[in-house]
Amino acid sequence: MRSKIPITTYIAFIILIFFASSIFLASSSETVFAAKKNDKDDKEDEDKLIVKASINLENIDMENTKFIRVIGFINGEEAKQDIPISTIDKSDDNLDVELKVNEENEIVEADTPDEFFLCGYQVGDVMTEYKSFAKFDCNEGDILGNPTEINLFKADSQVYTKSKAVYDANLNNLNSSNSDTVKIKIYAPLADKKDTEKLVIAAMIKGQIQSEVIEDVQAELDKSDGNTISRTFTFDRKTDIGLIQIGDRYHACVASEDLRPPEGSECEKRLIKNLDTINSLPAR
């Protein structure tokens, strides 16, 4: 004769099935949600050009730096990130930072070997170190794929060393200057690209970028006696990460689809030599 199973056993069994089903459904929904989130992220990056900057943390003053500013001009667009030191794992040797811009915009479509630049600034206590010459590094590169990789603060970089030498040699000139602004004039010679219709010119100094789109290049060329477009950018010498100094490195880029070949984006760099006169630079 088959023994009867107590009613309490049935109830316990039903409760167990209920909880097991709940856990399975919750787990399934989380998996589906995560998949949707990843799909969304991938979709958002579909039309983005990604530059991966590898920052050598061994060359970063982790104790006295508040944040690292990474800034660049890529494919005719500004890209910037401020990374607090508190968010960085100090046991790591490198920090990878992704900067994303549109792969195609109204000015230019990214392609090999378009040029771009990236700079990194170690920002400490701005109030107490405002007039000091903060450590930084810059690097130029070509778009070689998507993503494209570039390094900052490599041990063999001479960017800061060369700038600091110019700064140290001009301390007297720094003390005698009363200028509150720094002017940078960027030239875009177009003798080989006279049919250019639209372009953007940009300048960067001390973690600040200014740019201007020239909507009708032909109209400007018709008014001039030459084949060069230029723009003068005025930067406040007092920036949010410190004072612009003699020796600071500045960059310029010009971008247009009409500049091909060789590149749709071209960049150059130079050091600030004078605070009281215009600093100039041909961008191509």
The stretch 111-115 carries a mean pLDDT of 97
Instruction: Give CA–CA dist 249/271, Å, rounded.
Output: 4
pLDDT digits (tens, 9 = 90+) for 235-244: 999 999 999 9
pLDDT digits (tens, 9 = 90+) for 182-232: 999 999 999 999 999 999 999 999 999 999 999 999 999 999 889 999 999
Instruction: Give CA–CA dist 250/204, Å, rounded.
Output: 5
Of residues 46 and 15, the one with the higher pLDDT is 46
Of residues 30 and 138, the one with the higher pLDDT is 138
Instruction: Give CA–CA dist 95/74, Å, rounded.
Output: 20
pLDDT score recorded for residue 182: 97
Lowest mean pLDDT among 11-20, 51-60, 136-145: 11-20
Q: Hey, what are 107's tokens? A: 């000015």
Provide the whole-model pTM: 0.83
Q: Give counts: helices (H), strands (E), the chain.
A: 4, 16
Provide the greatest CA pair distance for the chain: 113
How do the domains of the chain map onto residue ranges?
Answer: 1-44, 48-282
Is 36's pLDDT higher than 90?
no
pLDDT digits (tens, 9 = 90+) for 51-93: 999 999 999 999 999 999 999 999 999 999 999 999 999 899 9
Per-residue confidence at 98, pLDDT binned at 50, 70, 90? very high
Per-residue confidence at 30, pLDDT binned at 50, 70, 90? very low
Using a 10 angstrom Cβ sphere, with 0-12 exposed, 13-18 middle and 19 or more buried, the burial of residue 31 is exposed
Using a 10 angstrom Cβ sphere, with 0-12 exposed, 13-18 middle and 19 or more buried, the burial of residue 48 is middle
pLDDT score recorded for residue 46: 86
Is 15's pLDDT higher than 80?
no
